[in-house]
Amino acid sequence: MDFTTIFLLQSGLYVVSLVALFANWLNNKDIRETAYWPAAVGVLFLGAVLSVAAETQLTSSTYIGPHLANTLTILAFLVLYSGTLILNGREPLGKITLFSTAVFLTILQAILEQTTRPQTWRPSAVCFTISVICGMIIWQLLMTSHEKSAPRLIMAGLVSLCMYAMGMRASLLLVDALIIKQSPLITRAIPFFIMSLCISGFTIAFVLLTVEKLQAQLRELAERDPLTGLLNRRAFATVIEPQIATARREKQYIGLAQFDLDHFKQVNDRFGHAAGDAVLKLFAKISSRCLRDTDILARFGGEEFVALLRGTSAETLEKAIDRVRAQFEKTKLELNNNSVGTTTSVGLCVVDAESFEFERHLKEADEALYEAKDAGRNRLVMRFFPSSLPTPQAPSDTTEDA
Residue 288 is predicted with a pLDDT of 93
H or E stretch at 257: strand 253-261
**Dist. CA 372–CA 380, nearest whole Å:** 6
Integer angstrom CA distances of residue 221 from 216, 283, 301: 9, 20, 15
CB 187 within 8 A of CB 2: no
Give me the pLDDT at residue 191, please.
Answer: 72
Instruction: Return left, alpha or beta for 102; rule: phi > 0 is left, psi -120 to 50 is alpha, else beta.
Output: alpha
For residue 231, give the amino acid letter: L
Q: pLDDT tens per residue, the chain (402 residues)?
A: 556 676 677 777 888 888 888 998 888 888 888 899 899 989 888 887 777 666 555 444 455 667 788 888 889 999 999 999 998 888 999 888 888 888 888 788 778 767 666 667 777 888 889 899 999 999 998 887 666 788 888 889 999 998 998 888 888 777 766 665 555 555 556 776 777 778 778 888 888 888 888 887 788 788 899 899 999 998 998 899 999 999 999 999 999 999 999 999 998 888 888 889 999 999 999 999 999 999 999 999 899 999 999 999 999 999 999 999 999 999 988 877 778 778 999 999 999 999 999 999 999 999 999 999 999 999 999 999 876 534 444 445 554 443
* Domains of the chain: residue spans and CATH: 3-223 (1.20.1070), 233-399 (3.30.70.270)
Q: What are phi and psi of 396, to 5 degrees?
A: -110, 155
- Helices 185-223 and 233-249 pack at an angle, to 10 degrees, of 100
Write a three-state SS string for 79-133. HHHHHHHHHCCCCCCCHHHHHHHHHHHHHHHHHHCCCCCHHHHHHHHHHHHHHHH
Q: Hey, is 200 helix, strand or coil? A: helix
